[in-house]
Amino acid sequence: MLLSQKMQDALNAQIHAEGYSANLYLAMSIHAQTMNLEGFGHWFRKQYEEETSHMLKLISYVLERRGKVELKAIEAPPSQWDSMTAMFEETMKHEEHVTELIRGLADLAEAERDHASRAFLQWFVSEQVEEEATVDSILQKLQMCKGSPGGLFALDHRVGKRE
């Protein structure tokens, strides 16, 4: 069963978005490490790896459906933030944006009566619930320890244990 052109184009756009997400989190990892917050650097590096795996999962799906993958240049993400809280505020906004993109894909699959894509995309829908919840939890903790370097270092240690 072939993908429709519309679904193929939308999935290619999502592949591009996941590539940008990966680069954004790699830039955040690098910046966290320059702040001597190695735990946060590790956490963002894991996010980078996760976003890369999402991109590869989408690529594999398009190819399995005999579609054409069209990679495009990925714009450079920011490279500096004022604080770890600012980084996680941006992360939250970004994950909310990705959630909207995934919802749009799911809506398109339904409108196109593309049951295979709808089933495939359900994993991404669930993943975004988890992504937003995790980021929100860390952001709330960062806001609680505002002005407390000890709290920031304790949180850095905690998030650095991410597998």
The pTM for the full model equals 0.95
Residues 6+ apart with CB under 8 A from 117: 3, 7, 11, 61, 65, 105, 108, 109
Question: Which token pair is 117?
Answer: 């894509």
**What's the confidence (pLDDT) of residue 63?**
98
**What's the confidence (pLDDT) of residue 127?**
96
Q: Name the percent of the chain lying above pLDDT 70.
A: 100
* Band of residue 87 on the pLDDT scale cut at 50, 70, 90: very high
* Band of residue 105 on the pLDDT scale cut at 50, 70, 90: very high
**What's the confidence (pLDDT) of residue 163?**
87
Question: Does domain 5-159 bear CATH number 2.120.10.70?
Answer: no
Rounded Cα distance, 155 and 151, in Å: 6
